[in-house]
Chain A
Amino acid sequence: MNPAGSVLLLSTLTGFGYGLLAWLGVFAAGGWLPAARYFGPVGVVVALAFASAGLLSSMLHLGRPERAWRAFSQWRSSWLSREGVASLLTYPPALLFAASWYFGGQSAAATRLCGLLAGALGLATVVCTAMIYASLKPIRQWHNRHTAPDYFIFALFSGAALLTLLVAACGARATGAAGLTLGTAIVAAGAKLAYWRFIDRQAPLTTLASATGLAAFGTARPLDQPHFTENYILREMGYRVARKHAAKLRRIVMAVAFAAPGLLALDAGFGWLPAAAALLAVLCALVGLFLERWLFFAEATHVAAVYYGR
């Protein structure tokens, strides 16, 4: 599948934003965040800025962005529509959480309630995003049991990295958030390795013989192409660049997306220059997860490409 930058940014950035929102909600409910009056509101602004940037970048993918509001209507059948609705529903409780923190403090009942609600809705948005891919039957690398849990755990990991940065930046001890980052990084890396192992062992969904109804006539191979140049179908679904470098890129993802942020978070929690280490961890996670998402698209094969022998 063609890895369109706008779509990669959407799921990567919303993962960071909604992951942070979820951890803010949980930590506030436990009373484990710095008590500073501005901490909650700043956290919410950072979380919503990441999520909104992702959502806005996804508009660039649309052929008619001015009609985007129509996408809220078909939540009964479409995961893309559900994603839009859930992302919109996340804003009110998130803003109320920030306001309640500012005026009532971290331990106010309204703060705790709104924080948990905003976090839950944010994570629901992440799951809706994942389900857009997981529900597409023609793409075996997406339509499986790994996709949705993977997006969920990647959001929790990237949100934990951001939380570590926020806590460290305001001068508080970030031991809890850093430990969480390390823990989720390990789980996320394990999930990604399991996903790669899974797709590498998967059999192709179909053969040219079945796609053409010619199975009874033995094997089939393309003889003449319908057209000499690339068309929409081939550009969108016949993308082949990644397969050549897949092994190398996977090692880079492991190192940059998970190992580096995990170790840097360890330093942020227990070592020197915690804020700098946490910032570096977030940057690594951003670059690494963007690359991870690129591979998720580029390695995915669509059955329609079978008609062209790809």
Chain B
Amino acid sequence: MTSLPARPEGAKKLGLVIDLDTCVGCHACAVNCKEWNTGGHYAPLPDYQPYGKEPDGVWFNRIHSYETSCGDSSRTVNFPRSCLHCDEPQCVTVCPTGASYKRAEDGIVLINTDICIGCKLCSWACPYGAREFDEDAGVMKKCTLCIDRIYNETLPEAEREPACVATCPSRARHFGDLGDPTSDVSKLVAARGGVDLMPELGYKPVNKYLPPRRATIATKPADAPVQGAMHPLLKLLDKVLSR
């Protein structure tokens, strides 16, 4: 059924919280995601001409880098982009076959690749570009929130989190129940003013992004170099020491 399920009382709303302040843009989450998922629920994640001129393939995580500027100040922000497991996912309701669905019990958006006809309409309906088409299998694929890790009882309990979260070296990714206001992730979102992406489109994404902190490191203003004629070597020395 591609009609959205009613959320049972007390159901979980699993998702990610991504900290744009601490993300260093290392792509480790994307790589570990690819590594896990190419052997996971939607295996394989194909690569097209991996050693050719135009390598391409299906990835569930894409890491952008942006520069923001406001007046004189500017900063680099690394921005991981993946499925936001929206509360109002149009990618689900447009599906003609019932392959695309949202789970009532934890809100994860999945695809039944056994009945997907590969019409690609769900990828058009997603404003976040989160779904990527598997040209080899002829079906759509997407982030599963590592459904095969988070409920995997053969893994030690500490490892039951999405591959991207487990691997992040700067702890910029957090996983938890965003439907429970007392959970660690919900408290983190409240404390850091977490935001929705493109809230104006009304998809109500579950994943939240924590904006970069505004703190700046105070630096002592540099001494002005001595003016006037001087030996070039001394001039250089003065310039260096004035920093």
Contact = CB atoms under 8 A, between A and B. Distances in A.
Interface of A: 1, 61-65, 67-68, 70-74, 76-81, 84, 132, 135-139, 205-206, 208-214, 216-227, 229-233, 236-237, 302-305, 307-308
A66 B55 CA distance: 29
Given A74-B2, A205-B201, A213 B195 contact: yes
Contacts of A218: 68-71, 74
A208 B66 contact: yes
B76 interface: yes
A78 B69 contact: no
B97 A74 contact: yes
Contact of B2 (A63, A78, A216, A305): A78
A98 to B, nearest CB: 29
Interface string B75-89: 111010100000000
A132 B117 contact: no
Contacts of B96: 70-74, 78, 80-81, 84
B117 A237 contact: no
B169 interface: no
A261 B71 CA distance: 57
B35 interface: no
Given A67-B97, A135-B94, A226-B30, 9 more contacts: A64-B138, A76-B3, A80-B119, A217-B77, A219-B69, A229-B56, A303-B127, A307-B62, A307-B64
Given A220-B66, A223-B67, A304 B129 contact: yes
Which 6 interchain pairs have the tightest Cβ spacing?
Answer: A63-B118, A63-B138, A218-B70, A304-B129, A224-B65, A81-B96
A236 B30 CA distance: 21
B56 A73 contact: no
Contacts of B90: 135-137
Contacts of A217: 68, 70, 75, 77, 211-212
A206 B198 contact: yes
A227 to B, nearest CB: 7
A61 B2 CA distance: 21
A180 B30 CA distance: 58
Contacts, number: 211
A303 B117 CA distance: 24
A49 B27 CA distance: 52
Contacts of A302: 124, 127, 129
Interface string B185-197: 0000000000111
5 contacts: A63-B120, A74-B1, A210-B200, A220-B77, A231-B56
B54 A229 contact: yes
B225 interface: no
B200 to A, nearest CB: 7
- Among B98, B127, B128, the most chain A Cβ lie within 10 Å of the Cβ of B127
Interface string B113-157: 001111111011111110011110111100000000000000000
A232 B139 CA distance: 13
Contacts of B70: 217-219
B65 A211 contact: no
B124 A1 contact: yes
B123 A206 contact: no
